[in-house]
Structure 1
């Protein structure tokens, strides 16, 4: 692997990591909350997000932050 290719790889990895840190993935951040409050909801049409938002006062802080990041 050339030095230029390696440098490009590092830059792309750094950018990807920064984007992930700024915008948490609700699927991972809300897994425990989904299992606890919305396990019977089939995916599709925003039904899971709607279920989680309906239970918002009971969700973890991590899940709330992930849901909030989707609204931006």
Structure 2
């Protein structure tokens, strides 16, 4: 998996799954499988991905849904990413920050997918 898709997944999935609450279907899996992993720079997400076969059905479904959204965004934004942010160093959300800094210059498809991702994150937080 490329760094760009990893950045998208981290943006989409990590922020949702780390939030505690009744709608966090991955809380138990995260604690059991990755509880000792240091947070930051996508390490917990990487651990979850490495253990995807061990995830509960609900968490796996959530992960796959966000992965699908991330792939759609990656496809729609690939050219924009190459044009504006190919040289942005990875880690700590720098690539996504770069994309956001250029949001007014991005293609309509990319902007739409970024909005879709934002909406999907909101729905996931609410447990939908």
**TM-score grouping bracket, smaller chain normalisation:** 0.5 to 0.7
For structure 2, list consecutive stretches of 5 or more residues without a partner in the other structure.
Answer: 1-67, 120-128
What residue number does 2:74 align with?
Answer: 27
Compute the TM-score of the two structures, normalised by the length of structure 1: 0.59
For structure 1, list consecutive stretches of 5 or more residues without a partner in the other structure.
Answer: 1-19
Aligned-residue Cα RMSD (Å) equals: 2.0
Query: Rg larger in 1 or in 2?
Result: 1
> 1:36 and 1:45 mapped to 2: Cα distance?
20
Provide closer, same or farther for how the CA distance between residues 28 and 43 of structure 1 changes in structure 2, counting only shifts above 3 A.
farther
> 1:30 and 1:52 mapped to 2: Cα distance?
9
> 1:43 and 1:63 mapped to 2: Cα distance?
20
